[in-house]
Amino acid sequence: MPTTILAIESSCDETAVAILRHDEGRVEVLASEISSQIDIHREFGGVVPELASRNHSLHLRPLIEIALEDAGLKIDDIDAFGATAGPGLASSLLVGNTTAKSLSVATGKPFISVNHMEGHLLSPFLEAPELKSNLALIVSGGHTLLIHMRDFGDYKLLGSTRDDAAGEAYDKVGKMLGLPYPGGPEIEKQALDGSPTAFNFPRSMMKDGLDFSFSGLKTAVLYQLEKLDPEQGRAPSEAIPDLCASFQQAVIDVLVAKTMLAAQQCGEKLISLSGGVSCNKTLRSAMQQTCDQHGFELLIAPPALSTDNAAMIGFVALHSHLRGQHSSLHEDINPNLKLAQA
């Protein structure tokens, strides 16, 4: 019997709805709709929580209707409803979570509460034949996590950031350089015209376990800006590509080195890379090259599944549903929801 899941993602500034079907061991994404609010938040230089939740409320119902239409289904054809419960912005999480619970009550079908980071963690496997144990690096706007995934639901935290997440560092440095929000894709673009060795930025905690720290790197970029233009603390526009390329290289060197170390420590031969920052082509190719050198297999989600989307939430909900793991309607959102323990 095929199983059909409708999932909602609303943890930050993307409203997303997806419908997935599982049939004879195969998973198919029947619809995946995203309404991005990036243009709305750009003029404020970052996400404004009140605007985010208001826009989730505006867009969610039409997106559900479009997703059902795309999939050629009616609400009664859905077998279970999943929604992100955290981590994320409380007022944004509430919109998607409450909507999924309401649909569950109205149709009498189960509700499944999903951890957003588990969505990222499993996203590289959405187009793979099966889940496999692996060492995962998740690099998003809010998190930098090294996880040993032994099985579905069996996750061990090996390393995380002590301060800024990798994506957060990209966004903050982008802001310092006067680039539009979000800084990640803009820095990647600028870096194409710059030299990664123009400035020697620090590789923090490189020889110091599996935790990360990116705030020193961010401060080093700031000091460099002040040196370039002591009065304004700004970079002359011709220095921006070199600053971006050198900053990016420092981030990538640390991410790749710690991922290799973690994989060696936990003995996994498969490495997975996920989260918004994994869209970065320079990171992808550096990770691929180093994996090839060390004999590791690398699995990366396509870019559309790397940034926030509801297909990855539906994928987790589907795996839970197939194992009979449903959530109580009393299960609340949790803005600080954790994925794994050390």
Residue 43 in marked binding region? no
Comparison of 9 and 268: residue with beta carbon closer to ligand KG4: 9
Q: How many CB atoms lie within 10 A of CB 236?
A: 10
Residue 127 in marked binding region? no
String of contacts with Zn ion for each residue 139-168, x by CB under 5 A: -x----------------------------
The residue from 84, 271, 308, 326 that contacts Zn ion (CB under 5 A) is 308
CA distance 340 to 147: 8
Token pair for residue 45? 């230089």
Using CB under 5 A, which of the segments 104-112, 135-143, 215-223, 282-290 binds Zn ion?
Answer: 135-143
Residue 276 in marked binding region? no
Using CB under 5 A, which of the segments 96-104, 134-142, 186-194, 256-264 binds Zn ion?
Answer: 134-142
Residue 184 in marked binding region? yes
Say which entry of Zn ion, ligand KG4, none residue 199 contacts (CB below 5 to 8 A, set by partner kind): none
Residue 139 in marked binding region? yes
Comparison of 88 and 110: residue with beta carbon closer to Zn ion: 88
Residue 75 in marked binding region? no
Comparison of 183 and 194: residue with beta carbon closer to ligand KG4: 183
Q: Check: CB of residue 326 under 8 Å from CB of residue 80.
A: yes
Secondary structure percentages of the chain, helix, strand, coil, to 5? 45, 20, 30
Residue 140 in marked binding region? yes
* C-alpha pair distances (Å), 340 with each of 115, 127, 158, 230, 266: 10, 24, 9, 44, 15
CA distance 248 to 38: 22
Say which entry of Zn ion, ligand KG4, none residue 182 contacts (CB below 5 to 8 A, set by partner kind): ligand KG4
Residue 56 in marked binding region? no
Token pair for residue 287? 């990770």
Footprint on this chain of ligand KG4 (rule: CB under 6 A):
12, 140-142, 167, 170-171, 182-185, 188, 275-277, 279-280, 307-308
Q: Collect all residues with Cβ–Cβ distance below 8 Å to 144 and sequence separation of at least 6.
A: 137, 138, 160, 161, 165, 166, 212, 214, 255
Nearest approach, Cβ of 188 to ligand KG4 (angstroms)?
Answer: 4
Give the residue ranges of DSSP H helices in the chain. Answer: 38-42, 49-71, 90-107, 116-122, 166-176, 183-191, 215-228, 240-266, 281-294, 303-306, 311-322
Token pair for residue 295? 């004999």
Say which entry of Zn ion, ligand KG4, none residue 268 contacts (CB below 5 to 8 A, set by partner kind): none
Say which entry of ligand KG4, Zn ion, none residue 184 contacts (CB below 5 to 8 A, set by partner kind): ligand KG4
Q: How many CA atoms lie within 13 A of 186 on its CB side?
A: 18
Nearest approach, Cβ of 13 to ligand KG4 (angstroms)?
Answer: 8
Token pair for residue 322? 């197939």
DSSP strand pairing (111-115 vs 80-86): parallel
Comparison of 159 and 182: residue with beta carbon closer to ligand KG4: 182
Residue 120 in marked binding region? yes
Comparison of 268 and 308: residue with beta carbon closer to ligand KG4: 308
Give residues in contact with Zn ion (CB under 5 A). 140, 308
Binding-site entries for Fe cation: 116, 120, 308
The binding site for substrate consists of 138-142, 171, 184, 188, 280
Q: Which residues are annotated as a binding site?
A: 116, 120, 138-142, 171, 184, 188, 280, 308
